[in-house]
Structure 1
Amino acid sequence: MSTTGESLKPWFIVFMLTLFMILAFADRAVLGFAAVPLMRDLNLTPSQFGLAASAMYWVYPIAGIAGGFLVNRWPTKWVLAGLATVWAATQFPMLWATSLNEVVAARVLLGLGEGPAFAVVLHAVFKWFEDDRRAVPTSIVSEGAAFGIVLAAPIVAYFIVAQGWRFGFGLLGTVTAAWVVLWLIFGSEGKVATPSAGAGNLQPVSYRLLLLDRTFIGNTLAGFAVACGITIMLAWLPPYLTRGLGYSTTQTGWLTTLPWIASIVLVLGGGYLSQRLLLAGVTSRYARSGLLCLCLVAGGAATAAMTFLSPGPLQLALLAIGFGLPTLVWTLSPAIIAEVTPVAQRGAMLGLFSTIANSAAGSFAPYLMGLAVERGATPAAGYASGFLLLGVLQAAAAVAAWFLIRPAATIAAFQAEAGKATGRRPVTPTALTPQPARIERTASAGE
């Protein structure tokens, strides 16, 4: 392949993986787009619909953990193809579903394919880019979720009005199957296996140490808070706009895209800023963890403030900012985990991070929002109480994450553990094999 072709190949893979994430979230979000007519046709209460929305996350722990360990042994190309095949297959039963149990069963099966998706995609991206070049491609791929909603919301809303809600599920199943065919033809595996400058040539350490490390816990807590917002938005934003705020179905199709557009702009900008800070020699403590905590606390404050306003442009603006800012966590937290984790265990730890955060949030957050709507004096009041609680949770999680996430301390602890296991003198972050100046400064500067 020519030099130009070689240089463009990683970005072609980023494009294909972004499409993968677009479909992943469109396949999830179609239930929310269809919420109002689906609840009407199947005679579901808000809490029953919330239960169906949460069902996808019941098997997340099993699927996510299995997928994380699977990519330690198998090429990501084949794992990604298998996951997308499961998504496609689970959309078609919705064409004839007539009861809550059938909807729940379809969503549980979807969760089997969705559970490992984000971690596997990140592991695939990291195989094409070195550590200090990962922020931008990771931001692009992670924003496939937002692109999925922006592209799917008006289209699915149109077909729901014109063809009925079942058509939307069939359409997404067909498009997802088409992606699988294209990926099998054009997808390939990256060759980058270089550890981060901070982790050096660190050998694998015990998973007990990895899971109980403060940096992993802090990132997972932040990811959990963001996942609560994402799962609530996927299930409840369309009915919130129609039943809670009084917008029409057509208006909702477009307004649903606002938080996701904000996410695209804010995450791509934040990812670029983080990467520039790292290249300038700023430590990961500030360039990654500090930035993600700032965005999470500001987003939580915006979401909480939104609940005290009447419907209108200012409320919609706060809704968009409150959702968009925290999603930067899903770019920066995986980068921190990859930075401090031995390469041989990276796929598993990314899978565990994504699985724990998503399954803990998704298993109850949509259901609790449904209960809040049912118990509110009005639907609008119920939604307001649910979003207020979400904003407070995210702000509190940001503060806790700031005190927990310490990349340099984590690397030092892992180096010491590796030294004990091999009987060699532990290698400190300041005594690593020489790297380019900008990398060395990032790893060795104090926190």
Structure 2
Amino acid sequence: MDAGAKLDTKPTLVSEHKAVIDNPASKPTKGRSAVLFLISIMYLICYMDRSNISVAQPEIGKAFGLSKTSMGLVLSAFTWAYAVGQIPAGWLGDRFGPKKVLTAIMSWWSVAAVMTGAAAGMTSLFSARLLLGLGEAGAFPVASRGMQFWFPRSERGRIQGTTHFFSRFAVAVTPFIAGSVMLAFGWRAIFYIFGSLGVIWSVMFAWYYRNRPEEHRSVNQAELAQIRGLNPDGSIKPLVTMRQETPWRRILGSPNMWYIALGYCCFFFGTNFYLTWYPTYLREHRHLTLQALGIIGSVPLFAGMAGDLIGGSLSDLMFKRTGKAKVARSIVAAPGFLLSGIFLIPAAMTASVWTSVLCLATSFFFLEFVIGPAWAVPMDVGGQFSGTVTGVMNMAGALAASVTPLVFGYYFGKGSWMIPFFISSGVMFLGALIWVFLIDPERSVVEAPATNGRG
């Protein structure tokens, strides 16, 4: 049977399901595990492609005679395009399906990555990074829609934590991989090699992935029942999708949508310090050598990776125990924000380098508790428009992330090494309050209030 052969999806009675599950030869398949692995690899490639330029940046500047201001403009091109492309890309995923859109955008940004390596000057380099940002803009919103088809609500925290684990891992290992490639083959080879990985992924994803699990040969009736659940009569719940226009007015007019976006702004504001000013902070304020920075600099990233997995799993565990998304998501995200903010204060105030790094790592560990619940909520409240809803959330987060380097850069430039951490700590406390009192994972942002469900 080929990968696209359809399974028998006729209603299956509970007794029949039980007989299937009790038969060792007919245990639930693990098709969705392969889907999760494929999408996790996409997250890995995504962050490798966006962060590898930081390794090549000095050589690129020398090759093209770019000033730091010009190089900053090149780097900002990605951020601008990434923020602007979030909502349109999410809508495309909802409209045409994750399979077509993810395959297309991965191919798009892989070409853009190769174009970065082939750049001949400032203009072509800027254009390549702009195209890369537009391509990557759709990756996470559309991937969330794709995972929504394949995973039940009780697994959404774990899968989001897992995918973001891979993105953090990419940030940790890219400097070593890209640096080795550059030493051996030159800076252009970084983008040629990394870009080719995306092309390979696109081919594999197009071959393996199906928008509907029942259309995949690796999914049996027992696994489909786990994904969809059972009706009272014992039949497998159908996939409910209706061809209708995107309810822009409801989405953009929903207070819950903007609470979700604001909560993610708080998260991204805190996260982006580690991706921008953290190495400079260790070098210039804590006076670490480059060799020490290479070792110590990755500690918070690995702590955050652990936080991704633990936070997402805890959220799902609470959902299975309570059946309430509000409890399951908030009980992990709110303490994560709170503890992250608390540990930022001693990190800034201590005179000890090791104490500061340990506190920063602990802060990032708890902050990453938020990522699983934060990305599960758009799947909870967005229904068949979860790609669009996720795009709105991620656009807001990207804009907030652009503020972080400005705040830290302003105060660090004045020699004020503590104040930006106190500001960030306050933002973390605000995030905790938003999750406790405002965000409601039970309230749809795409349905009329009278018909709000718990899908």
TM over 0.5: yes
| Aligned pairs, number | 411
Q: Which amino acid aligns with 1:313?
A: W
Task: Check conservation: 1:36, 1:239, Cα contact below 8 A.
Answer: no
1:9-47 Cα shifts (integer Å, max 9, x gaps): 1101111100000011111122334456656775533x6
1:225-374 to 2 correspondence within 5 Å? 225-281=266-322, 283-310=324-351, 312-341=353-382, 343-358=383-398, 360-373=399-412
What is the rounded CA distance, in whole Å, between the counterparts of 1:48 and 1:246 in structure 2? 27
What is the rounded CA distance, in whole Å, between the counterparts of 1:253 and 1:323 in structure 2? 18
Equivalent position of 1:435 in the other structure: none
What is the rounded CA distance, in whole Å, between the counterparts of 2:272 and 2:360 in structure 1? 15
What is the rounded CA distance, in whole Å, between the counterparts of 1:157 and 1:82 in structure 2? 29
Equivalent position of 2:50 in the other structure: 28
What is the rounded CA distance, in whole Å, between the counterparts of 1:228 and 1:403 in structure 2? 20
1:43-442 to 2 correspondence within 5 Å? 44-45=67-68, 49-95=71-117, 97=119, 102-160=124-182, 165-191=187-213, 206-281=247-322, 283-310=324-351, 312-341=353-382, 343-358=383-398, 360-373=399-412, 375-377=413-415, 381=416, 385-408=419-442, 410-411=443-444, 414=447, 416-418=449-451
Shift, 1:368, TM fit: 4.6
Shift, 1:275, TM fit: 1.0
Decide which moves more: 307-316 or 364-373.
364-373
Which of the pair has more CA radius of gyration?
2
What is the rounded CA distance, in whole Å, between the counterparts of 1:158 and 1:246 in structure 2? 26
Task: Check conservation: 2:381, 2:445, Cα contact below 8 A.
Answer: no
Task: Check conservation: 2:311, 2:371, Cα contact below 8 A.
Answer: no
Shift, 1:152, TM fit: 2.0
Task: Check conservation: 2:286, 2:353, Cα contact below 8 A.
Answer: no
Shift, 1:222, TM fit: 1.7
TM-score by length of 1: 0.79
Change beyond 3 A, Cα 1:142–1:196: farther
Change beyond 3 A, Cα 1:350–1:412: closer
1:163-202 Cα shifts (integer Å, max 9, x gaps): 55544333322322332233233333343795999xx989
What is the rounded CA distance, in whole Å, between the counterparts of 2:360 and 2:131 in structure 1? 31
Equivalent position of 2:219 in the other structure: none
Shift, 1:371, TM fit: 4.3
Shift, 1:243, TM fit: 4.7
Shift, 1:140, TM fit: 1.0
The secondary structure found in structure 1 opposite 2:343 is helix
Task: Check conservation: 2:251, 2:445, Cα contact below 8 A.
Answer: no
What is the rounded CA distance, in whole Å, between the counterparts of 2:173 and 2:304 in structure 1? 14
Gaps of 5+ in 2: 2-6, 8-24, 214-223, 232-238
Task: Check conservation: 1:146, 1:260, Cα contact below 8 A.
Answer: yes
The secondary structure found in structure 2 opposite 1:15 is helix
What is the rounded CA distance, in whole Å, between the counterparts of 1:282 and 1:326 in structure 2? 24
Q: Does 1:9 align with 2:47?
A: no
Shift, 1:242, TM fit: 4.1
Task: Check conservation: 1:221, 1:401, Cα contact below 8 A.
Answer: no
What is the rounded CA distance, in whole Å, between the counterparts of 1:108 and 1:309 in structure 2? 40
CA RMSD of aligned residues (A): 3.6
What is the rounded CA distance, in whole Å, between the counterparts of 2:337 and 2:211 in structure 1? 33
Task: Check conservation: 1:26, 1:148, Cα contact below 8 A.
Answer: yes
1:127-169 Cα shifts (integer Å, max 9, x gaps): 1111122222222122221121233232224445665554433
Change beyond 3 A, Cα 1:293–1:33: farther
Equivalent position of 2:17 in the other structure: none
Shift, 1:286, TM fit: 2.3
Shift, 1:55, TM fit: 2.5
The secondary structure found in structure 2 opposite 1:134 is helix
Q: Which amino acid aligns with 2:86?
A: G
Q: Which amino acid aligns with 1:366?
A: P
TM-score by length of 2: 0.78
Task: Check conservation: 2:307, 2:367, Cα contact below 8 A.
Answer: no
The secondary structure found in structure 2 opposite 1:406 is coil
What is the rounded CA distance, in whole Å, between the counterparts of 1:413 and 1:98 in structure 2? 46
Q: Identity across aligned pairs (percent)?
A: 20
What is the rounded CA distance, in whole Å, between the counterparts of 2:92 and 2:423 in structure 1? 36
Change beyond 3 A, Cα 1:327–1:159: same
